[in-house]
Structure 1
């Protein structure tokens, strides 16, 4: 396999290229990601009560995080931000299943790097949503089947791919990277707190 090289950094055949920002970010928050997955795995999504509590916990974190992104001017960074918003979808699902959103306190004003870290978590959650949809697809509960706008939001759209393209295009310093990781960690922490409160 041929590898791209430059005079400043020759790369030999068979040598792997250094990990990109996405991979470094994924590695840095892997523990937080696993912890959150374990918390949400405790919900019995095939029961109306369990699914309702899952939506309530998700909304408790999603709503203040999206509001914080709005205040930070995320639409200047992601012009398709209105297509990415999920607050209307999750609120509609809660209405259908009889749940109530209890948003946590909104985080402090985010800078550009905090926006990127937060977006990494929110956009990445779409990947997990596909798995959860498959989990509940055959449960046979019509109230759950009628409340999947949140989990199916953005289905068929390249939202994750276009987010990653934007993330990887950023020219970041080591300090920027620390702040992006911190933003992602804070978003994971908010979902973890919401899951604990709804348990």
Structure 2
């Protein structure tokens, strides 16, 4: 057992109070302190080193994944000129840059994602993407192979990026729906996929199962970084 400090913070990161405790790594002591405190965000410190972040709105694995991929997520967002997606060439380019998800889905299926996410059949989107590209007169072709590890952490890391992409697609849909091009408006199955099905909440529930598995979380972070790299490479590739 080691002596630690638990810092309670507001959403701007300002420390509101500090509690001293002995941490046993089974989260029992922390759970007791968190349960009696109104603030939902806390950090565990040992001397001058932050050891862990606790957020009762966001699980530990989710928090680590978000932190590990923050800069890559920002870089990907920086490639997206949202206002231009009402125009056919820009929207076609956007759909093409999402082609890596096809290989990822196939790789996940080969790795056994259906065991971890039993509702996987509701989650895969490559048929929707192919449908939209076909409407816009673009060839789809075979997916680039994406072999990946079959451990739970890695699978959840790849899925974290795909599920986050689905969330972002719903925001993009609001712009694309305003296009004056009827084909663009019709080619939105990919963007609409999963709306109203609570797929993100269901994924977070499964992700929370590795909250206390440091090895699985590290593997998830590595996999999520690889997924973001694949999407960033899609933006770097010349347009078809």
Cα deviation for residue 117 of structure 1 reads 0.3
Describe the superposition over 1:98-155 as per-residue Cα deviations: whole angstroms up to 9, x where unpaired.
1223666323332221110000000111111111011112122101011000000011
| Bigger fraction of residues in strand | 2
CA contact (8 A) 1:133 1:152 kept: yes
TM-score (norm 2): 0.74
Report if aligned partners of 1:104, 1:194 keep a CA contact under 8 Å in 2. Answer: no
- Which structure has more RCO (C-alpha within 8 Å, separation ≥ 6)? 1
Choose 1 or 2 for highest CA Rg. Answer: 2
1:136-183 Cα deviation digits (max 9, x unpaired): 121221010110000000111110010001101235432221110001
- Give the alignment's Cα RMSD to 1 decimal: 2.2
Q: Offset at 1:14?
A: 4.6
> Which TM-score applies when normalising by structure 1?
0.89
Aligned to 2:237: 197
What is the aligned counterpart of 2:107 among 55, 68, 91?
68
Bigger helix share? 1
Q: 5 Å matches for 1:103-182?
A: 105-111=144-150, 112-170=152-210, 172-182=212-222
The answer for the alignment partner of 2:118 in structure 1 is: 79
Any unmatched runs of 5+ in structure 1?
none
Structure 2 unaligned regions, length at least 5? 1-20, 22-26, 43-53
Give the deviation of 1:45 after TM superposition: 0.9
Aligned with residue 94 of structure 2, among 48, 54, 68: 54
**Map of 2:37 onto structure 1:** 13
Cα distance change of structure 1 residues 48 and 157 upon mapping to structure 2, 3 Å threshold:
same
